[in-house]
Amino acid sequence: MPPSAPTKLDLKRDEKLEILWQDGQRSVYSLSYLRSMCPCAMCKMIRDGRDPHDISPQPAEPRKKPLLNILPGNYAQPLTVVKAELVGNYALRIDWSDDHGTGIYSFEYLRSISPK
């Protein structure tokens, strides 16, 4: 199995996701960190400083990144996980309490963003 294969997933819906990886590494992700790193196309475009409504593959000119990126979602309540499910043997899909749920967190992606 590759190192990016988890042997154990432990999700505390109002606190964190903990993963024990095949190679023995342990990763602990706060929910706010996971939400801010949502891999969906819209969130990725916002993190990259692009307009999520711009359908062109690349911006015409490099834009200066804004100082504050606001990801889509409802921030009126504390952030929690409403639902999480495995996607095949390669990913985890999370529905957030801010009404966002389009991000599929592949295990490879989760490993690459693991807090050190």
* Contact call for residues 97 and 82 (beta carbons, < 8 A): yes
Mean pLDDT of 65-94: 78
Q: Taking residues 92-108, what's their average pLDDT?
A: 94
Residues pairing with 87 in the sheet: 91
Please tell me the distance from the alpha carbon of residue 57 to that of residue 47, in angstroms, as a whole number.
15
Average pLDDT over residues 28-47: 92
Which pLDDT score, from 0 to 100, does residue 77 have? 73
Contact (Cβ atoms closer than 8 angstroms) between residue 111 and residue 61: no
Give how far the C-alpha of residue 113 lies from the chain's centroid of Cα atoms, to the nearest Å: 9
Q: State the distance between the two ends of the chain, measured CA to CA, in whole angstroms.
A: 22
Please state which CATH class domain 6-53+67-112 belongs to: alpha beta
pLDDT of residue 71: 59
For the ranges 14-18, 47-51, 60-64, which has the lowest average pLDDT?
A: 60-64
Residue 110 binned pLDDT confidence (cut-offs 50, 70, 90): very high
